[in-house]
């Protein structure tokens, strides 16, 4: 399993993780248990997903030493002004003493509260209760403000990223600032992308499924990647991406799949969902 170094105190993140958006808490307990049995060591949840309890139960029952696991959760939008309390509530639902990564879920630029929230995350980090801190859905503009005005640069920005929406500008910005790019909806939510004829050609060439081709592309780009599945065979399939390498020509071919209107999820500049 590949790991990437974060910009904070030598903390490493397993490059392939397991996402649990839209998974009810009891199902999350089952599928995280399956994922940990398959070999995943990194789980991505959020307060907004309503499944931190199930994730925590699976993590605690796994028998895997806590330091070998990487658990991420996120500060939900209505909690920007009470981040320390919200963090305590997440820890308590997870039943853990610390998380490996705590993220601001959305920047909500019109509310102007993300810097205040970030200062609370810095405090949580200094207390050792989050081994690393980062953001999600931040744009060049909102990230620049954090970098310029806060003391700690976010270690990761988790953003929508898949072959139809490749986020080149954000990836370049992250690289220039020592921030890791983490891809959400990395399989395009399993919709049209996985049936694309270009992926069928590569699937045939490498003897790998379209999902494995896409995940391998993310790995070779240097993204942290967190596919979600509640299907045991797919959970296993998505982990099978470390035994082959896409050649440069095929990386370029997937690079050419980018579209100008490929976004599936909300636009961070205008998304103000309060739950």
Ligand X SMILES: O=C(O)C(=O)[C@@H](O)[C@H](O)C(=O)CO
Ligand Y SMILES: NC(=O)C1=CN([C@@H]2O[C@H](COP(=O)(O)OP(=O)(O)OC[C@H]3O[C@@H](n4cnc5c(N)ncnc54)[C@H](OP(=O)(O)O)[C@@H]3O)[C@@H](O)[C@H]2O)C=CC1
User: What are the residues binding ligand X (CB under 6 A)?
Assistant: 21, 46, 105, 265-266, 273
Instruction: Select from ligand Y, ligand X, none the partner in contact with residue 12, using the beta carbon and a kind-dependent cut-off of 5 to 8 Å.
Output: none
Find where tokens 């998380």 sit.
99
Q: How far is the CB of 239 from ligand Y (least distance, A)?
A: 10
170 vs 226, beta carbon nearer ligand Y: 226
Q: How far is the CB of 238 from ligand Y (least distance, A)?
A: 5
Instruction: Select from ligand X, ligand Y, none the partner in contact with residue 211, using the beta carbon and a kind-dependent cut-off of 5 to 8 Å.
Output: ligand Y
Q: How many angstroms separate the CA atoms of 42 and 178, rounded?
A: 21
Q: How many angstroms separate the CA atoms of 81 and 115, rounded?
A: 10
Candidates 90-98, 164-172, 233-241, 255-263 — which segment interacts with ligand Y by CB under 6 A?
233-241
Beta-strand pair 224-225/156-160: unpaired
Beta-strand pair 42-44/130-136: unpaired
β-sheet bridge partners, residue 3: 14
Determine whether 234 is exposed, middle or buried from the number of CB atoms within 10 Å of its CB (0-12, 13-18, 19+).
middle
75 vs 199, beta carbon nearer ligand X: 75
- Residue 181 parent element (H or E): strand 180-184
79 vs 250, beta carbon nearer ligand X: 79
Instruction: Give catalytic residues, as residue numbers.
Output: 49
Q: Please calculate the CA angle 132-105-122 and round it to the nearest 5 degrees.
A: 35
Work out which of 92, 116, 127, 231 binds ligand Y, going by CB under 6 A. Answer: 231
Q: Which residues bind ligand Y (CB under 6 A)?
A: 19-21, 44, 105, 136-137, 158, 184-190, 194, 209, 211, 226-231, 234, 237-238, 265
């Amino acid at each position: 399993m590949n790991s990437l170094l974060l910009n904070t105190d030598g903390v490493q993140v397993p490059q392939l993780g397991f996402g649990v958006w839209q998974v009810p808490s009891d199902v999350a307990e089952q599928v995280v248990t399956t994922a940990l049995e398959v070999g995943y060591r990194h789980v991505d949840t959020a307060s907004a997903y309503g499944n931190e309890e199930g994730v925590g139960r699976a993590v605690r029952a796994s028998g895997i030493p806590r330091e070998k696991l990487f658990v991420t959760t996120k500060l939900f939008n209505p909690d920007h002004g009470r981040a320390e309390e919200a963090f305590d509530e997440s820890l308590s639902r997870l039943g853990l003493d610390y998380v490996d990564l705590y993220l601001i879920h959305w920047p909500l630029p019109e509310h102007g509260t993300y810097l205040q929230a970030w200062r609370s995350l810095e405090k949580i980090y200094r207390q050792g209760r989050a081994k690393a801190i980062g953001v999600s859905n931040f744009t060049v503009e909102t990230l620049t403000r954090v970098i310029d005005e806060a003391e700690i640069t976010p270690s990761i920005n988790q953003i929508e990223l898949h072959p139809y929406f490749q986020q080149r500008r954000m990836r370049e910005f992250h690289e220039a600032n020592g921030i890791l790019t983490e891809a959400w909806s990395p399989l395009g939510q399993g919709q049209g992308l996985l049936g694309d004829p270009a992926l069928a050609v590569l699937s045939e060439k490498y003897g790998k499924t379209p999902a494995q081709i896409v995940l391998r592309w993310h790995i070779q780009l240097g993204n942290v990647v967190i596919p979600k599945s509640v299907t045991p065979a797919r959970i296993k399939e998505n982990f099978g991406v470390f035994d082959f390498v896409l050649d440069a020509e095929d990386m370029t071919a997937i690079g050419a799949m980018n579209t100008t209107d490929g976004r599936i999820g909300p636009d961070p500049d205008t998304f103000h969902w309060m739950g």
